[in-house]
Amino acid sequence: MNSWYESLQRPALTPPGWVFGPVWTVLYSMIAVSLFLFIGKVRGDNGYGMYGVIALHLVLNFCWTWLFFGLRRPGLALIDIVLLDVTLIFLVVRFWPVQRISSILLWPYLVWVLFATWLNAGFYVLNRR
């Protein structure tokens, strides 16, 4: 974390900073396995549209950190994370009929990202200037 983040007012239920590293390590591992299993199952033209959504989702995930911590713009990060939520829900639903375990592996990630969305909204509201 950085000094800017440490200076922010925190919404209720904000976990301590040390929680994020272990949680993201587990979640990124589950995401990698999910994508590996899904990509191994999908074939031909059916996969191309999904690959685009997966790529968009990963870019949104990367951009959130940059928007929130790098640019220090919780409002822009909130827009990004809502789009992240939408693409993740889409992936969870679309993975289900193709490779159920891939969908199931994304459920904890979805719960965490929805929680992060709530936190991001709280940071935005509490720290608007």
The pLDDT tens digits along the chain (129 residues) read 589 999 999 999 999 999 999 999 999 999 999 999 999 988 766 677 899 999 999 999 999 999 999 999 999 999 999 999 999 999 999 999 999 999 999 999 999 999 999 999 999 999 997
Contact 11, 115 (CB under 8 A): no
Give the pLDDT score at 105: 98
How much is the pTM?
0.92
Four-point Cα dihedral 106, 19, 71, 108, nearest 10: 10
Helix-strand-coil split of the chain, %, nearest 5: 85, 0, 15
Please tell me the distance from the alpha carbon of residue 107 to that of residue 109, in angstroms, as a whole number: 5
Please tell me the distance from the alpha carbon of residue 39 to that of residue 47, in angstroms, as a whole number: 8
Assigned token pair, 128 = 């608007």
DSSP 88-100: HHHHHHHHHHH-H
